[in-house]
Amino acid sequence: MPNNTNGRTALLERQRWLTFLLPFLVYMVAGALEPSPAGSAAGYAVVYAIKIALTLAAVAFMWPGYRQFPLRLSPLALLVGVAGGPLWIALAMPGWERLYVWPVFQQVGLGFLAGGDRPAFNPFDPTNNLSTCWAYAFLAVRFFGLVAVVPLIEEFFLRGFVMRFVMERDWWNVPFGKASRLAIVLGTAVPMLSHPELLAAAVWFSMITWLMLRTRNIWDCVAAHAITNLILGIYVVWSGTWRLK
């Protein structure tokens, strides 16, 4: 009987992009199928949970690929992650993009680049008709996705793949933490395209790029991302500012 683990490892060695792209693509494709919370709160909650489950399954399948990066963490990751939470909140709260940036994009014919709104889904809103049990269950899944899943797949996609892919044809041989000017620009520009909080994304992802160059350790980037997301999630629930997540 063939060894499934060895077969999987061999597949990931032949198709090196799978580790970095597949979980991210599963997350994005499943996310595109999410109904609007305004139309179906229960449907949104269920599809979001399915999205996280499918992404987690993809991560589990890709795990031998993740293990090529030794698991170690530096105190600097903790400091960047903790500082990043309040910084993101402070830069995102005023909504400068909606006031100043998106109208200019509309005027010059670049409206398609304007960031969309986040779901801003409050599971405890009585109009959503979710029981208290289901509301807390969704919140638990939401936090798991926010803290454990998204930082992992986004950092591996962005810094493990995109920033190295633009540097060398054999991109997998580029040491993690080495970056050209183009790679550094993309390390901030690419995530800005997927976050409506344009200024917060520009500053925060630049910080993580600095952390990457400093420690040359992808797990530091994942950890800092997770800590910032945890702080942001706690703030959203505590303050009721659901539009930030």
Q: What is the pLDDT of residues 41-87, one digit of tens each?
A: 889 999 999 999 999 999 999 999 999 999 999 999 999 999 999 99
* CB half-sphere exposure, 137, CA atoms < 13 A: 10
DSSP class of residue 161 equals I
- Retrieve residue 187's tokens: 């390390």
Whole-number pLDDT of residue 115: 59
SS3 for 217?
A: coil
Cβ pair 210, 226 in contact under 8 A: no
pTM of the predicted structure, to 2 decimals: 0.92
In this prediction, residue 1 has a pLDDT band, given cuts at 50, 70 and 90, of very low
Residue 63: what residue type?
Answer: W
- What DSSP character marks residue 15? S
